[in-house]
Amino acid sequence: MNRFSLIEITLFFTFFTPSAFPMGTSADEISIDPKTNTYTLSGNAIAKDDGKVFKANTIIIKSENSKKTTRITANGNVSYQEGGTVIVSDLCKSDMSLIIFSGNVVIRNPKLGTIHADKIEYNIKTKNMDITSNKKVRLKFGKEAENNFNKRNKGDSRGKQHNKIF
């Protein structure tokens, strides 16, 4: 695996088109393995793509033909932001359609409030989430989310599950 300094990376991007790198990225250190099309971002790692922002201690980006991101793994102090929603966890794995967050997961959304769980599977396309926990899932609703939840569930004693939360 090749290791490059920030100056070398800057020079690399000066001479190659922006499409040569799969996402907007920054980190203290970037390693590129051209044989496997793998980019490893270490230290204050940030990867941005299409309004989604991943931040972590380490982010590994796997791409097809150096152009299309196919997988992201983020480890250590993971933060994912999409719109007003922020999800933090210890580990995150994504195939760009499904993101799996695990370990001390917390979701914060202005309309929803705060949710604590062990694991969340988030479908980027449908915006549905499957939230699991070995303990009880702890919800802290904002007033708007609580009112919306109560309206949707009025008279529903079966506890119907509503996956689309924002």
Which pTM does this prediction carry? Answer: 0.70
Neighbour-count burial of 52, counting CB atoms closer than 10 A to its CB (0-12 exposed, 13-18 middle, 19+ buried)? middle
Residue 115 pLDDT: 86
d(CA 60, CA 151) in angstroms, rounded, equals 42
Say what the pLDDT of residue 63 is.
Answer: 82
159 vs 78: which has the higher pLDDT: 78
The DSSP result for 14-34, as a single string, is HHS-GGGSSSEEE-SEEEEET
Q: What is the pLDDT of residues 56-95, one digit of tens each?
A: 999 999 887 656 778 999 999 999 999 889 999 999 999 8
Confidence tier at 158 by pLDDT (50, 70, 90): very low
Helix/strand/coil for 88 = strand
Residue of 88, 26, 78 lying closest to 57 (CA atoms):
78
Residues 11-38: tens digit of each pLDDT: 333 333 333 445 788 999 999 898 888 8
Q: What is the pLDDT confidence band of residue 7, given thresholds at 50, 70 and 90? A: very low
- What residue segments make up the domains of the chain, in order of their start? 2-152
pLDDT: is 54 or 70 the higher one?
A: 54
Domain 2-152 has CATH 2.60.450.10: yes
For residue 45, pLDDT over 50 is answered with yes
Residue 139's pLDDT is 61
pLDDT at residue number 148? 65
